[in-house]
Amino acid sequence: MKILVVGGGGREHTLVWKIAQSPLVEKIYCAPGNPGIAELAECVHIGADEINTLLEFALAEKIDLTVVGPEVPLTMGIVDIFQAAGLDVFGPNKAAAQIEGSKRFSKDLMARYNIPTAAYRSFSDHAQAVAYIREQGAPIVVKADGLAAGKGVIVAMTEEQAIAAVDDIMLDQVFGAAGASVVIEEFMDGEEASFFAFTDGENILPLASSQDHKRVNDNDEGPNTGGMGAYSPAPVVTGELHQLIVDTIVKPTIDGMAQDGCPYSGILYVGLMIKDGKPRVVEYNARFGDPEAQPLLMRMKSDIVPLLQACARGKLQHDAIDWYDKAAVCVVLASGGYPAAYEKNQPISGLDKAATIEDLMVFHAGTALHDGQVVNQGGRVLGVTGLGETVRDAIDKAYAGVEVIYWDKVHYRRDIGAKALGR
């Protein structure tokens, strides 16, 4: 098989790494890829959002399966145009990708099908949004309706912070068109977890549990990011809770989407808040999480390619996924200053040393080659992912990799996985 992976971040490096292990695969292309991916696949200089050019490439190269990593091409309709051309493609179509592309769409879906989530209201009028915040009080959560690269959610502890967030989103348009309207939600406390399931629009195949760390600093302090690290399994998701999530959230979501005339195929991510053994939905994503994909796919024993193909063809009949009975932890190394402004093109050292550590993978996210040297190019730069017999072992392995990698102003959290140890 020839496979095309669309995207160039840590999630896509992980997907390429896992796909490369399949005996079914003879050639992998990645568009646009990155220096880490280039060691496993042929990188093609086409942007992830250049969906018509990607289609031309896939047709010319006779690609057997295209796997779409990021959310932007999904919400643009890459799946629709590939399917119309008779190509197998993994991911939801444009209508179904609204589950991530519009917070309002997803909240209305949950309200229609009684899926547990925070109480909410949507606003496209600034004054009405502010009045609602005054009426509700704080803490309260403000979300840009559209895509904002994981940064469009503000957890406001005071009314003033919430109103400032609405001003930033709606008046100053810090997230561009994504902030034309906002969703304002009740604040949920508890412990977060990430839940993923493969689906062909009807059948569901859940993955192992995982947990992300959204805030930029230790102890969950500072602004939200795209994710500063993750681990799997997440002890907060017990076997009983796993089944409850499938029965009360995942299945009603997939059934509801089908009932609404936009069946959802691909991987569904459900961000959860868990309190007193009860899960509620924080948000949905229409693709693999980043950085959750890193520990999840490090632990996956099964060949991923038949699963991706079955979802794409509407024939997901697999009973279960085989997992290594181990834990995995990913620590994200970010550029100093992220999620705000940061310096690019800083040379990265120590990648060769990290490569010699057993049961450790360094997944490239925001890197580039500059005069033959790997440099930082994005906010989240590397996902250093360790595998171990226990979560403690996996934490030690990941941080052993972190210790040998350096560039000027590198930033990372030192407490990834600590919540799992607490259990």
Token pair belonging to 182:
């906002």
- Residue 269: in which H helix or E strand, if any? strand 266-275
Q: How high is the pLDDT of residue 422?
A: 79
Would you place residue 156 in the very low, low, confident or very high pLDDT band (cuts 50, 70, 90)?
A: very high
What are the strands, taking DSSP E only, across 80-203? Answer: 89-90, 120-123, 140-144, 153-156, 182-186, 191-199
Beta strand 120-123 pairing with 182-186: antiparallel
**Residue scoring higher pLDDT (60 or 180):** 60
**Lowest-confidence segment of 4-13, 128-137, 141-150, 158-167 by average pLDDT:** 141-150
Counts for the chain of helices (H) and strands (E), in that order = 15, 22
**Contact between 163 and 137 (Cβ < 8 Å):** no
pLDDT, tens digit (0-9, with 9 covering 90-100), for 272-325:
999 999 999 999 999 999 999 999 999 999 999 999 999 999 999 988 899 999
Q: How high is the pLDDT of residue 411?
A: 98
Looking at residues 115-129, what average pLDDT do you find? 94
In degrees, rounded to 5, the angle at the alpha carbon of residue 196 between the alpha carbons of residues 191 and 197 is 145
Give the 3-state secondary structure of residue 199.
Answer: strand
Inter-helix orientation angle 159-166/126-136, to 10°: 170
In this predicted structure, the answer to whether residue 386 has a pLDDT above a threshold of 80 is yes
The answer for residues whose C-beta is within 8 angstroms of residue 416's C-beta and 6 or more apart is: 213, 228, 229, 230, 231, 329, 330, 331, 395, 398
Count CB atoms within 10 A of the CB of residue 212.
26
Provide the Cα torsion 120, 125, 131, 137; round to 10°. Answer: 30
Of 226, 338, 376, give the one whose Cα is nearest residue 291: 226
The answer for residues whose C-beta is within 8 angstroms of residue 221's C-beta and 6 or more apart is: 215
Report how far apart, in Å, the C-alpha atoms of 226 and of each of 43, 223, 316, 361, 407 are: 24, 10, 30, 20, 20
**Contact between 123 and 148 (Cβ < 8 Å):** no
Give the 3-state secondary structure of residue 18.
Answer: helix
Looking at residues 93-101, what average pLDDT do you find? 96
Domains, the chain, with CATH or none:
2-91 (3.40.50.20), 125-180 (3.30.1490.20), 191-313 (3.30.470.20), 327-422 (3.90.600.10)
* Long-range residue pairs from 239-244, CB within 8 A, at least 24 positions apart, any chain: 240/277, 241/274, 241/277, 241/279, 242/206, 242/209, 244/278, 244/279
pLDDT, tens digit (0-9, with 9 covering 90-100), for 310-354:
999 999 998 889 999 999 999 999 999 999 999 999 999 999 999
Q: How high is the pLDDT of residue 150?
A: 67
Of 23, 4, 31, 9, give the one whose Cα is nearest residue 288: 9
Of 188, 112, 98, give the one whose Cα is nearest residue 145: 98
The proportion of the chain whose per-residue pLDDT surpasses 90, expressed as a percent, equals 91
Would you place residue 151 in the very low, low, confident or very high pLDDT band (cuts 50, 70, 90)?
A: confident
Q: Cα–Cα distance between 271 and 249 in angstroms, integer?
A: 11
Give the 3-state secondary structure of residue 369.
Answer: strand
Q: Cα–Cα distance between 5 and 43 in angstroms, integer?
A: 10
Backbone angles phi and psi of 148, in degrees to 5: -140, 35
In this predicted structure, the answer to whether residue 149 has a pLDDT above a threshold of 80 is no
Q: Cα–Cα distance between 105 and 145 in angstroms, integer?
A: 9
Q: What pTM did the predictor assign?
A: 0.93
Q: Cα Rg for the chain, rounded, in angstroms?
A: 20
Give the 3-state secondary structure of residue 109.
Answer: helix
**Contact between 32 and 310 (Cβ < 8 Å):** no
Of 110, 303, 323, 97, give the one whose Cα is nearest residue 210: 323
